[in-house]
Structure formats: structure tokens, C-alpha cells
A = this chain, B = another copy of it.
Amino acid sequence: MVLKKSVKLEILGQPAPVAERKDAARNRQKILEAARTLLKTRPIQKICMDEVAKTAGVGKGTVYRRFEDRASLCRALLHEDAIRLQNEVLAGFGIPHDAPNLVHLAHLIDALFDFATDNASLLSEALAFERGGAKRYDHPAHVWQRDAIGRYLERAVKNDEIPPLDTVAATEMILAALDPDLLTWHLERGTTKTTLKATYQRLWRALVTGSDPCRRAY
């Protein structure tokens, strides 16, 4: 059997759907649809896979054949938003190309922030993938975000927009602070999204503009 080559759309971890058989594709859609329906009634953490299967009218085995695991299903549910995010990045947020890299970065981080808060519950579940094994940091979703931020930071340094800096480490710190559970915690305690976002913008700016005074031995 010759598989039709399908365009690879590896975006934020969406499993590239390589030429599925018709029934398989249909079931994939039924499952996603079922999940989305259930998501309207309660957060993903309260939805079990059997229920998704039953709602979709397929067997549990089918769910797990279409989606590697629970986290994988969550990632697929995030796909649309992820596409939008990536398109915004590719389009450069409508900013002049020659705008300072820090401005680009500000927009990128804003977008990542929105993505994280708007999808906190799904993301939390999606990231739980392989806890303790630390594999999550090798996941395309994470790698992509890291690359995007890192690129701008490097350019900003080269361009003398900010002092020299360990861009790799800084990138990771910026991303770590975007932990969906942390954001959720703040929002649940009454901080508005706007405030939180502003705080966050100030924070990463402080990080990348900071110097290391290496204040004496101790």
C-alpha cells in the first residue's frame, strides 16, 4: 500500500496526521468533537478517557490508537490555538521588520502569555506528559517556544539592545515562569489577566536588561 504523503504540520506537538485511513480520520474527528463537547461542561481534569470514547461512540482502544495518551489528546485540542499563535509569530505581529528585537520579543511573550492563560487547564494536562522523566523539555512544543524566544534574545544582544547575557538560560527562566498552573493560581486569587501580564512583561525585561555585578566573594 502506498501512503499518500501528507504535509507535515508539526506545530506545538500536534502529531502529524500522516495519511490516515478514512475510518481512522473520521474517528479522530469524532473523538476531538466529543472531547470539545465535554470540555464545555467541565475542565479537562474531570473528564476521563472512557467518557470521551463513549461520547464519541468508539471503543477505548480507538481513542488510544488515534492519540498516544491523554496528554497527546490535549495537545491536539490545543492545535487550533497553536496554529494561530504560530501564524502570528510568522507574520511578525504586524510590526516593522526592522523594529527592535525586544519589541518583537515583547509581542511574542505577550502571545505566549495569552496562549498559556487561555489554555491553562489543557496545557497543564498536556505538559504533565512524562513527569519525572524530564522528557517534556524535549517536546516539540517546548523546543519551539524556546527557539523562538532564544532567537530574539540573541539578536537583541548582537544588536546591542541589551547587555550580553546567557540567552539560553534566560530563555528557560522566562518560559519556566509561564507555567500554566502558576498563572492559574494568580488568576484564581483575583489578579486580573491584564495586571499579571504587565507584571510579567516588566519581569522579563528586568531579567534581560540586568547585569551581573558579581558582588565580591562570600
A interface residues, Cβ below 8 angstroms from B: 43-45, 95, 99-100, 102-103, 106-107, 121, 124-125, 128, 131-134, 136-138, 165-166, 169-170, 172-173, 176-177, 179, 181-182, 184-185, 188, 199-200, 202-203, 205-216, 218
* Cβ-defined contact, B212 with A206, below 8 A: yes
CA distance A20 to B184 in the complex (A): 37
CA distance A121 to B134 in the complex (A): 10
CA distance A136 to B128 in the complex (A): 14
Q: Which chain B residue shows the least CB distance to A206?
A: B210
Q: Which chain B residue shows the least CB distance to A161?
A: B215
Provide the main secondary structure of the chain A interface. helix
Taking the closest CB of chain B, its distance from the CB of A208, in whole angstroms, is 7
How many copies of this protein are present in the complex? 2
* Cβ-defined contact, B209 with A210, below 8 A: yes
- List B contacts of A188 (CB < 8 A): 134
* Cβ-defined contact, A206 with B137, below 8 A: no
26 A–B contacts from the bound complex (CB under 8 Å): A43-B132, A45-B131, A99-B218, A102-B215, A103-B215, A106-B218, A107-B218, A125-B132, A128-B128, A131-B181, A132-B184, A137-B182, A138-B185, A169-B200, A170-B203, A170-B206, A173-B176, A179-B179, A202-B212, A205-B210, A206-B210, A206-B211, A207-B207, A209-B210, A209-B213, A210-B210
CA distance A103 to B218 in the complex (A): 7
* Cβ-defined contact, B185 with A177, below 8 A: no
- List B contacts of A165 (CB < 8 A): 206
* Cβ-defined contact, B124 with A169, below 8 A: no
Q: Which chain B residue shows the least CB distance to A184?
A: B134
Q: Which chain B residue shows the least CB distance to A209?
A: B210
Q: Which chain B residue shows the least CB distance to A173?
A: B177
Q: Which chain B residue shows the least CB distance to A213?
A: B209
